[in-house]
Amino acid sequence: MQKNPLGRDNRARERGPHRSQEQVEILKELATLIAARTTRGRPGRASVAVQQCMTQFGLYSDFKMTPQEVNRVSNLPEWTTVLEEMIKSRRADLAFRTTKQEHWNQRAQDRQVHQDFPGRASRHWQVFR
């Protein structure tokens, strides 16, 4: 992969600013869950989002369901409840990781200030933060 002038690879640019790979994965999972909750497939078939959700979270392999069974499960009211709980859980995980990353970035910024301004100036920086 080619590097850009700032030294960050193209994947980092695709991810967006200040997003870790873990955050990107969670965002993808959230998008799949939301799509599975809101879309309906053709009569007799589950939507592609539901099928993707089942595959992504291992439900196909765990329960060995046929497409017709997947359709029946996706039409149950409990399925919507399960999806909403999974969405809530993934959003909480995303918030935790975002907070953790912000804390890590702040510590890195503080270390950089200590390196750039050794001595008294770095101590004063913490007071004004």
Beta bridge partners of 115: none
Q: With a cut of 70, say whether residue 3 has pLDDT above it.
A: no
Better pLDDT: 81 or 123: 81
Give the predicted TM-score (pTM) of the model.
0.66
Confidence of residue 54 (pLDDT cuts 50, 70, 90): confident
Are residues 52 and 32 in contact, defined by beta-carbon separation less than 8 angstroms? yes
HSE, side-chain direction, 13 A CA sphere, residue 101: 14
pLDDT, position 10: 56
List Cα–Cα distances, 103 to 68, 88, 100, in angstroms: 47, 23, 5
